């Protein structure tokens, strides 16, 4: 990516409107380019200044009263409707968002209601992956350095994931983040392979966790589970099965070797 491309993506990145792949490409460029980092920081500063210092005008009481007073005689509607208007339509907005939430999560819902514990975990892992690509929230800590990513998780989750960089095998580590999967906080390691993002959820093994190696495909995403040294790993990506298996094999080898040296 050159500086001109980066400048074109900067505002969308700032506004969290940039897709994960382009965000990762831009972040990679920002790590190397002081000019673009400077430009980004200036935009961030201005954005923050507008949010914090530009006057936010609240509706004056007199206006609220005027609207309430004027609406009643002109429109002899029931009070319930007036309340919608003057109290900000909260009931409608709430109902709409509930309907939307149900509509959007129908797949997840059916897993939650009818599926096994494993189905629940799979649904959560896929949701976490999709969510990380939709919002500009792929990483909380963006670094390819094991000594940056690994300590970052300390005190945040009860697992210390082996944040190994598999860059030589074509799977660079791009960072880590926190998420909530299967009713527990977990560490997420984020890797990239070409334009594909791989999320790896890691948590400490509980008694009811399945730990054997297993593969799944859900909603077009490939998933793989394995465990190493009392940690459970779930890898999820739109990578094809062969490449994901290759990644998982390498990560598992590193994870098993990594912990013995701790």
Partner 1 sequence: MPHLNSAFNLARWLTRNEADAQDVVQEACLRAFKYFDGFDGQFANAWLLKIVRNTCFTWLKSNRPAEETLALDDNLEEVDRDENAIRLNASSLGRSPEAILIEKRDANRLDELIGRLPPVYREVLILREHEEMSYQDIAEIVGVPIGTVMSRLARGRKLLQSTWRGSKSKDVKP
Least CB distance to partner 1 at residue 88 (A): 4
CA proximity to 1, closest of 11, 19, 21: 21
| Nearest-approach distance from CB 100 to partner 1, in angstroms | 8
Candidate residues 3, 17, 102, 107; the one interacting with partner 1 per rule CB under 8 A? 17
Residue 81 CB, nearest distance to partner 1 (Å)?
A: 6
Q: What is the footprint of partner 1 within residues 93-152 (CB under 8 A)?
A: 93, 95-96, 100
- Nearest approach, Cβ of 79 to partner 1 (angstroms)? 13
Q: Is 154 in the site for partner 1 (CB under 8 A)?
A: no
DSSP assignment of the chain, as one string? --HHHHHHHHHHHHTT-S-HHHHHHHHHHHHH-HHHHHHHHHHHHHHHHHHHHS--PPPPHHHHHHHHHHHHHH----HHHHHHHHTTSHHHHHHHHHHHHHHHTHHHHHHHHHS-HHHHHHHHHHHHHHHHHHTT-S-SB--S-HHHHHHHTBTTBS-------BGGGTB-EEEEEEEEETTEEEEEEEEEETTEEEEEEEEE--TT---S-EEEEETTEEEEEEEETTEEEEEEESS-HHHHHHHHHHHHHHHHHHHHT-
Of 65 and 230, nearer to partner 1 (C-beta) is 65
Of 31, 41, 88, 112, the residue at the interface with partner 1 (CB under 8 A) is: 88
Q: Which of residues 36-65 bind partner 1 (CB under 8 A)?
A: 42-43, 46-47, 49-51, 53-60, 62-64
In the complex with partner 1, which residue's Cβ is closer, 41 or 145? 41
Q: Of 81, 145, 214, 230, which lies in the binding site for partner 1, with binding defined by CB under 8 A?
A: 81
Instruction: Using CB under 8 A, list all residues that contact partner 1.
Output: 11-12, 15, 17, 42-43, 46-47, 49-51, 53-60, 62-64, 66-67, 70-71, 74-75, 77, 81, 84-90, 92-93, 95-96, 100
């Amino acid at each position: 990516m050159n500086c001109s491309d980066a400048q074109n993506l900067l505002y969308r990145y700032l506004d969290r409107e940039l897709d994960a792949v382009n965000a990762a490409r831009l972040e990679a460029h920002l790590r190397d380019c002081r000019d673009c980092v400077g430009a980004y920081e200036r935009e961030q500063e201005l954005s923050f200044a507008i949010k914090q210092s530009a006057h936010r005008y609240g509706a004056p009481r007199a206006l609220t009263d005027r609207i309430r007073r004027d609406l009643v005689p002109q429109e002899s509607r029931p009070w319930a409707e007036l309340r919608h208007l003057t109290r900000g339509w909260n009931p409608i907005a709430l109902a709409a968002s509930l309907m939307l939430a149900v509509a959007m999560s129908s797949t997840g819902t059916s897993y939650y209601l009818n599926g096994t514990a494993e189905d629940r975990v799979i649904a959560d892992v896929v949701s976490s992956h999709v969510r990380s690509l939709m919002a500009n929230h792929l990483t909380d800590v963006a670094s390819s350095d094991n000594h940056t990513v690994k300590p970052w998780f300390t005190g945040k989750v009860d697992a210390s994931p082996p944040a190994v960089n598999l860059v030589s095998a074509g799977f660079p580590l791009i960072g880590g983040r926190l998420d909530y999967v299967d009713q527990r906080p977990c560490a997420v390691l984020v890797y990239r392979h070409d334009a594909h993002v791989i999320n790896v959820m890691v948590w400490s093994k509980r008694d009811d966790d399945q730990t054997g190696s297993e593969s799944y495909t859900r909603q077009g995403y490939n998933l793989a589970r394995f465990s190493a040294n009392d940690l459970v790993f779930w890898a999820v990506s739109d990578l094809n099965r062969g490449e994901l298996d290759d990644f998982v094999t390498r990560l598992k080898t590193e994870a098993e070797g990594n912990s013995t040296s701790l």
